Amino acid sequence: MTEHRHDTHPEIVKRLKRAEGHLKSVIAMIESGRPCLDIAQQLQAVEKAIANAKRTLIQDHLDHCLDDAVGPLGGDQRRTIDEFKTITKYL
């Protein structure tokens, strides 16, 4: 398998490490009997960090790999691909 890297990968790693830290905090909070509201807030931070990392990875993939896969396109086809990439930002 060949190495596959994009400029956004270091930022994605930072986000995932942040999520990892939040998750460790959540585990410690549960083990120490912290209030559920505090735990829920930390879980929300974990979910948000992971969702942001996933969104960035997918958008980066679409922006780079999809263009490479389909190659040069005519105007209408290019517009369709560009619209597809734009609409996926709302997922």
**Domain edges within the chain:** 9-90
Q: What is residue 1's predicted lDDT score, i.e. its pLDDT?
A: 65
Q: How far is CA 70 from CA 12, 41, 44, in A?
A: 25, 42, 37
Integer Cα distance of 22 and 30 in angstroms: 12
Q: What is residue 64's predicted lDDT score, i.e. its pLDDT?
A: 80
Task: Tell me: pLDDT of 63 over 70.
Answer: yes
Q: What is residue 30's predicted lDDT score, i.e. its pLDDT?
A: 97
The pTM of the full predicted model, rounded to 2 decimals, is 0.74
Interval 8-32 mean pLDDT: 93
What top-level class would CATH report for the domain 9-90? mainly alpha
